Structure 1
Amino acid sequence: MMIILIFFLHLKEVFMARISKNHSLGRDEAKRRIEQVIPKLSEQYKLTINYKWAEDYKLVFEGSGAKGSFFITDSSVEGDLSLSFLLKVMEGRIVSTINGILDEVLK
Structure 2
Amino acid sequence: MLPAPYMSGDNATMIIPSHFNDKNKEDPTLYFDITKCHFLLDLDTDKETDLEPIYAHKKGQVETEKSNKYFRAFYIPFFSDKYVVYGNFSLLQSTKLKIK
TM-score w.r.t. length of structure 2: 0.20
Which structure carries more helix by proportion? 1
Higher relative contact order (CA 8 A, sep 6+): 1
TM-score w.r.t. length of structure 1: 0.19
Which structure carries more strand by proportion? 1
